Amino acid sequence: MTTTSVDVLIIGGGATGAAALYDLARRGVRALLVDQLDFTTGTSGRYHGLLHSGGRYAGRDLETARECIVENRVLRRIVPFAVEDTGGLFVATPADPADFPARWLDGCAKAGIPAEPLSAAQARAAEPALTHDITAVYRVPDGSVDSFDMIHGFVAAARDLGGDAWIYQQVTALLREGDAVVGATLRDTRSGEARTVHAACVLNATGPWAGAVAQLAGLNVSVKFDRGAMIAMNTRWVNTIVNRLRPAADGDILVPVGTVCVLGTTSVHTSAPDDYRVEAWEVSKILAEADVVVPGIRNGRALRAWAGVRPLYEPPQAGHDEAQGREVARTFSVLDHAVLDGVRGLVTVTGGKLTTCRLMAEKAADAVCAQLGISAPCSTADEALPIPAATAGRYHRLDHRLHKLEHGEMPGDLICECEMITRPQLEAAIAAYGGQPVALDDLRRDLRLGMGPCQAGFCGVRAAGILQAVRGQASAEATAALGAFVDERFRGVRPLLWGHQLRQLYLDELIYRRTLGLDRLPDEGVSQATTAAPGEEAAHG
Amino acid sequence: MAEKRKVNRCTIAATQGRGSDVIVIGAGLSGLLAAVYAVKAGARVRLIATGWGQQIVSPGWISVCDRADDDVIAEVRGYAALHPEHPYALAGLDALVCALDLLQDIAEEIGEPVAMRPRDGHNLRLPTMLGALQTPLLAPAGIAAGDLTEVEEPLLIVGFAGWRDFYPALVAGNLSAQGIAARPLTVSLPAERGSWDDWPADLARRFDDSAFRSAVLRQVQPQVKGAARVGFPAVLGMARHAEVRREFEAGLGCPVFEIPTLPPSPAGARLSNGIRRWLLRQRARVQIGHAVLRGNVENGRCTGVEVGALGHANPFYADTFILATGGLYNGGIQSDEAGRLWEPIFGFPVSGPPSEGRADWYQGRLLAEGGHAIHGQTGLRVNAQMQPLDGDGAPVLENVFAAGHLLAGFNPLTDGCAEGVALATAYKAVSAALAARA
């Protein structure tokens, strides 16, 4: 077993953990981040892509609204490569309470959110797909943020400053010495290798898993799980984020992200941090509500549905000193277990939202530094991060790739037409794994392979053939990789099979069963035993 | 090795349909065969379709009863006896046998022969582009030449560098793992600008060019080294397919076969275009790209159909109508988010999975054993004349006959009988339609 020593061990490779890694690196603290899967596979990757203006909360939760508008401006400044400035609209229809817009506008003013009134005609000129039944409409500075890009940006910037991150590392135990947590033992979920990490402090940034990780130290952190479903439609129905101007309810937002439009969301209490079910009523509800503001969208082509689990933190009951133990109320929570439970060396951060991840990281890092006696202040809010090399090479806008293809700047044949991925790009992505195992689903997260309308019907077997060629694998192994990818892709589209997407999946099934005979090869059965798919795509189909 | 052989001898009397106007809706395998039959029977035929059917995206072979280990027709006969609701049972075995016969005739006539195994009437064993084995009864001759029933080893599997739709090592590896010795070879294609998204049909057309294919052939020749057969992706020519194959067999000194790749299928395109040209030569009308919007009904009969045109609908009249618009994939049956299923032209009752809504349409895995209820249980219920039935089991319209994937009672993706059902029911629909008219 190998042993490593760091100042701080961060558990959780979502937005908060990655931002904390960057924050601590800037303070000169040596930190290591670990995640049980890949980066962005939990709540951070399973959201709709909204960079909140705070308008969403102006009606009921001013503190959150204020945090959002401040952090919205901060993220535009520091991770501009991950943000699209779509702007946002709040649209009231005759179906919505008539007294709400005035109340909402008052909240925006108090929270400092600029809300510009538009006429219905102006709104429709900007977004022709909007309903003609508009009773009030305002423009707010919403945006969309690509959590993959942002998180990779944080990690890359932290690495430049001496931080490090390991993925596919499951925390098997937290090490206790008396009243202190002094590190953790890890197990590599792919190779099985065990490691020990000694740390002066552990930061638990695991979102919905915060309770389970705290439990490893024998501590009780009560996190409730709130599941929300989202649907990606196959085109950008709107270019501006469209919110319903009404009290928060199911199905009240449309977010244009990349080439798709994500509709959200629902709110269902559940009992597990990884309950990613999407139920039929959720699909119906989301489509029906979106159809009120963008008529016709329910008859559009839905590509993929997924769910994320929001961690809702329940404060400790009376008797604890809440004011100190939880520095910021309601919106998100930083729990200093030295104060709360008398156990040093462990800080938990949970709750919150992607838009406020940097602030959450700042407050969590403050608590960590206080424990370590480090006085360096946070300095993440002003300076733009360098565009990570990985982002420059791997992430793209679809039109950029098309331009390159058409001008001969992207050689090789096109393996995934939907996302415009060429053979050399796929080969490079496979090579980047060195000798590590690589699933087609890993390549999906790297390149967006199989995320377009055909959901891997065509590119799946091509990618398997190329994987085999690059790796020198046996055919059986490549076939099993394809089988696993077929299963993974099907999960997200199964709730959406009617009309056009049902026809698409008929064609996919025809290719797999008849043209390929995938179900006739003995190794196809392996797919059921291969790794359960880690996270979903953030906000992209 | 596969060769041409007739299942049986069926004759179509050229007087059977004389004086009769038949409109066939749909240009899949069912619609095309129905139109050919009606023309051969002397009817005046108009074929109307929004586009080609599933033969364009299918591998090209003809599955009749894939699971049969020996005599395919005997297996179907036994199955039909036990499953009276299956389209084979409704159409009858004679219709299947005659339909296969007619397909072989017309395919031969248009120069796109389909072949089966000689003598025994057993299924072929054909390699897929993943190296799995499929067992259809018939296939286009170039594909049927890959029959591995009596394996002559070793096989040489040839792919093209930088062409995304075929991976010879994947094929050879999986074949070898099943005990069929095969080795991969990758050769390069003569360069062409902008070839970053060559579809199978694009490549097939380039093989029509003799300089292009000679450049490929020259690279394979020195590598044959004792191979008993050489397999290529199924892109060996479009207009000159037969010539390309002959040339390759002569140049390589051994049999050459094709392995179907991803859609669209050059073999399906050749068959479709060949039959279309044949129909036109027989003075049938062929309208591809036209949507039939609805049928006009009076007194239990269809008087005509309305066909979409710019700004208005054009009516077309006939004595009998063959509805071969396909299932859920081709649009003969529509579905929506609420779980409704409907037939859009005549509004015929559609049976589907028993549950309310869409919840049970699909199993948890795409390749789950037994397939999905939505494709196994959806379709029109018909009688033995192929007339769609109402809830009481009575024909809805006396002169409309349905065929192909529109029908209930089988799963075209998992039952191994997709093309057989399409052909048999088309044959039966036309013969019932002409008999009713007589």
The domain limits of chain A are 2-43+148-222+314-372, 84-143+224-311, 396-528
Cβ-contact A540, A451 below 8 angstroms: yes
Q: Does A475 contact B at CB distance below 8 Å?
A: yes
Is the ipTM reported for this complex over the cut 0.90?
yes
- Residue A132, min C-alpha distance to chain B (Å): 24
To test the contact with chain B by mutation, choose from A285, A502, A507, A523 the residue with the greatest count of B C-beta atoms within 10 A, namely: A502
- Residue B404, min C-alpha distance to chain A (Å): 16
pLDDT at A463 over 50: yes
pLDDT of residue B214: 97
- Residue B367, min C-alpha distance to chain A (Å): 7
pLDDT in tens, A376-409: 999 999 999 988 765 555 556 667 788 888 888 8
- Write out the H or E segment, with its range, that includes residue A514: none
Contacts of A33 (CB under 8 A, 6+ apart): A10, A11, A12, A13, A17, A18, A20, A21, A155, A158, A163, A164, A165, A166
Contacts A515 to B, Cβ<8 Å: 58-59, 128-129, 260-263
User: Strand ranges (DSSP E) for B248-351?
Assistant: 256-259, 285-288, 292-298, 301-309, 312-317, 320-323, 334-335, 341-342
Q: Can you give the C-alpha Rg of chain A in angstroms?
A: 23
pLDDT in tens, A181-236: 999 999 999 889 999 999 999 999 999 999 999 999 999 999 999 999 999 998 89
Alpha helices in A395-498, H assignment, sequence order: 398-406, 423-431, 440-447, 459-471, 475-493
Locate the chain B residue with the closest alpha carbon to A282: B337
Q: What percent of chain B has pLDDT over 70?
A: 97
Nearest-CB residue to B177 (from A476, A502, A528): A476
**What phi, psi does A158 have (nearest 5°)?**
-65, -40
User: Strand ranges (DSSP E) for A329-433?
Assistant: 332-336, 346-351, 414-416, 421-422
How many beta-carbon pairs under 8 angstroms link A with B? Answer: 164
* Distance in angstroms (rounded) separating the CA atoms of residues B314 and B285: 15
Question: Does residue A265 have a cis peptide bond before it, meaning omega lies within 30 degrees of 0?
Answer: yes
pLDDT at A541 over 80: no
pLDDT in tens, B50-65: 999 999 999 999 999 9
The CB density around residue A128, as the number of other CB atoms within 10 Å, is 8
3-state SS track over A273-289: CCCCCCCHHHHHHHHHH
Locate the chain A residue with the closest alpha carbon to B413: A510
Interchain pair B335, A502: CB under 8 A: yes
Interchain pair B169, A515: CB under 8 A: no
Interchain pair A280, B357: CB under 8 A: yes
pLDDT of residue A316: 65
Interchain pair A514, B134: CB under 8 A: yes
Question: A2-43+148-222+314-372 has which CATH code?
Answer: 3.50.50.60
Work out the average pLDDT over A122-147: 96
* Distance in angstroms (rounded) separating the CA atoms of residues A3 and A403: 49
Nearest-CB residue to A476 (from B133, B174, B328): B174
> Could you tell me which CATH class the domain A84-143+224-311 is placed in?
alpha beta
Q: What percent of chain B has pLDDT over 90?
A: 88
Contacts B165 to A, Cβ<8 Å: 462
Q: Does A490 contact B at CB distance below 8 Å?
A: yes
Q: Does A115 contact B at CB distance below 8 Å?
A: no
Cβ-contact A353, A339 below 8 angstroms: no
pLDDT of residue B437: 72
Residue B194 pLDDT level (bands cut at 50, 70, 90): low
Domain ranges of chain B: 21-110+269-437, 146-254
pLDDT of residue A454: 87
Interface of B with A in 310-349 (CB under 8 A): 328-329, 331, 334-339
Contacts B58 to A, Cβ<8 Å: 510, 514-515
Going by their DSSP bridges, the two strands A253-257 and A241-244 should be labelled as antiparallel
* Distance in angstroms (rounded) separating the CA atoms of residues B272 and B288: 11
Helix, strand, or coil (residue B390): coil
pLDDT of residue B376: 97
**What phi, psi does A248 have (nearest 5°)?**
-50, 135
To test the contact with chain B by mutation, choose from A509, A511, A523, A524 the residue with the greatest count of B C-beta atoms within 10 A, namely: A509
pLDDT at A535 over 60: no
Interchain pair A468, B367: CB under 8 A: no
Q: Does B297 contact A at CB distance below 8 Å?
A: no
Nearest-CB residue to B129 (from A280, A516, A520): A516
pLDDT at B7 over 60: no
pLDDT in tens, A268-290: 999 999 999 999 899 999 999 99
- Residue A124, min C-alpha distance to chain B (Å): 28
pLDDT in tens, B101-154: 999 999 999 999 999 887 788 999 999 999 999 999 999 999 999 999 987 789
Question: B146-254 has which CATH code?
Answer: 3.40.50
Work out the average pLDDT over B255-268: 97
Cβ-contact A241, A96 below 8 angstroms: no
C-alpha closest to that of A12 among A153, A169, A206: A206
The CB density around residue A110, as the number of other CB atoms within 10 Å, is 12
Interchain pair A517, B132: CB under 8 A: yes
* Distance in angstroms (rounded) separating the CA atoms of residues B305 and B70: 44
Q: Does A508 contact B at CB distance below 8 Å?
A: yes
pLDDT at B212 over 70: yes
Q: Does A460 contact B at CB distance below 8 Å?
A: no
Nearest-CB residue to A468 (from B167, B334, B337): B167
* Mean pLDDT rounded to a whole number for chain A: 90
pLDDT of residue B151: 78
Contacts A284 to B, Cβ<8 Å: 337-338
pLDDT in tens, A19-29: 999 999 999 99
Work out the average pLDDT over A315-334: 53
* Mean pLDDT rounded to a whole number for chain B: 94
pLDDT of residue A321: 47
Locate the chain A residue with the closest alpha carbon to B176: A475
Nearest-CB residue to B358 (from A468, A489, A497): A497
Interchain pair A512, B357: CB under 8 A: no
| CATH architecture entry for B21-110+269-437 | 3-Layer(bba) Sandwich (3.50)
Tell me which amino acid residue A301 is. Answer: R
Comparison of pLDDT for A119 and A300, the residue scoring more: A119
Interchain pair B134, A513: CB under 8 A: no
Nearest-CB residue to B170 (from A468, A497, A513): A468
Q: Does B356 contact A at CB distance below 8 Å?
A: no
C-alpha closest to that of B32 among B279, B233, B341: B279
Comparison of pLDDT for B223 and B311, the residue scoring more: B223
Comparison of pLDDT for A408 and B396, the residue scoring more: B396
Interchain pair B132, A413: CB under 8 A: no
To test the contact with chain A by mutation, choose from B366, B413, B414 the residue with the greatest count of A C-beta atoms within 10 A, namely: B366
Residue A64 pLDDT level (bands cut at 50, 70, 90): very high
Helix, strand, or coil (residue A354): helix
pLDDT in tens, A409-420: 888 899 998 888
Q: Does A517 contact B at CB distance below 8 Å?
A: yes
Locate the chain A residue with the closest alpha carbon to B57: A507
Q: Does A263 contact B at CB distance below 8 Å?
A: no
Contacts A509 to B, Cβ<8 Å: 366-367, 372, 375, 413
Work out the average pLDDT over A358-386: 96
CA A448, chain centre distance (Å): 14
Contacts B132 to A, Cβ<8 Å: 516-518, 520-521
